[in-house]
Amino acid sequence: LVEAAELVADGRPKPEMLAELRAGLDFDRVMVELPGPWISGVTLSLIQDLKKALVRELGPDVNIANVHAEDLIATEALRVGLGVVGPTTRLVD
């Protein structure tokens, strides 16, 4: 389990940390827990940005925990590239 709060600095995802994790972990066996908006400094837009970064950097099958029920459909749409907010390219094959 990776705490997503560790993947964020100054209200933005840390791409260098994602790259290090991608290089060192088997993400078929890892779950990344999204931070909650109840945490100081965490906004809904930060959570969305982090989800996009996770899918873009780790692939559409990344295991994401702490997705709120009302956000499930949007998260799955993001995974398959539907909509204008999702990643346009993937770094993972």
Total domains, the chain: 1
In a domain, 22, yes or no: yes
**DSSP for residue 11:** T
In a domain, 88, yes or no: no
pTM flag (> 0.75): yes
Question: Could you give the CA distance from residue 35 to residue 48 in angstroms, rounded to a whole number?
Answer: 10
In a domain, 71, yes or no: yes
Parallel, antiparallel or unpaired: strands 12-13 and 8-9: antiparallel
Domain that holds residue 38: 2-79
Strand partners, 46: none
In a domain, 90, yes or no: no
Per-residue pLDDT of the chain (93 residues; tens, 9 = 90+): 998 778 888 877 888 888 888 899 998 999 999 988 888 888 888 898 889 889 888 889 999 999 999 999 999 989 888 866 665 665 455
> What was the pLDDT predicted at 42?
83
In a domain, 51, yes or no: yes
In a domain, 85, yes or no: no
Measured CA distances, 12 to 44, 45, 47, 70, 72 (Å): 12, 10, 9, 23, 22
> What was the pLDDT predicted at 33?
93
